[in-house]
A = this chain, B = another copy of it.
């Protein structure tokens, strides 16, 4: 019986996901074959099957990987003393990710797939709930410190910030002149006007 090295297995799995992300971002889920993913990852179809039984399983793993990264990000920043500054930092990270055409393309592809596949939709919904909870916690912490208007409903406000984040990724697809990093100042202005306590 062959023994499995868990570290090696995880590394190989990550390499497959990285290869698949690159293929999916360029051609979309349904125009990418598992053969193309194998070629990109430099492995045989038989070997790929040890890690992921289907292409759908690879898509699901990519969505879950993004969810894990979002959860880790928010777990790492919730203790901040400057919750509003932390929120702005997060939005700057979103702009940086949107400037990566592969990342933006994959994000749109996942949203479109969620409309058609209930398993992907459930995983995407879980990730989205994690993101909104993380933003909501920052908003509540900022409101407690007087950095954000306490009259704003934190859950609904977090929903609008999530919509803005989605919208930033969409802009990359629909407006060829959209340069995410150049949006930073106007995004901070929008957030300040929307979130800051009204001047007395």
Contact = CB atoms under 8 A, between A and B. Distances in A.
A contacts with B: majority SS: helix
A121 interface: yes
Contacts of A169: 170
A134 interface: no
A129 B178 CA distance: 11
A194 interface: yes
A92 interface: no
A162 B170 CA distance: 9
Nearest to A27: B116
Interface stretch (A10-18, A77-85, A105-113, A139-147): A105-113
Interface stretch (A1-9, A45-53, A153-161): A153-161
Interface residues of A, number: 55
Contacts of A25: 115
A120 B131 CA distance: 31
A35 B183 CA distance: 44
Nearest to A109: B112
Given A112-B108, A115-B104, A125 B167 contact: no
24 contacts: A30-B31, A101-B115, A104-B115, A108-B111, A108-B112, A108-B115, A111-B170, A114-B173, A114-B174, A115-B172, A115-B173, A121-B173, A125-B176, A127-B174, A128-B174, A129-B175, A132-B175, A159-B183, A160-B187, A160-B190, A162-B174, A163-B164, A164-B164, A166-B170
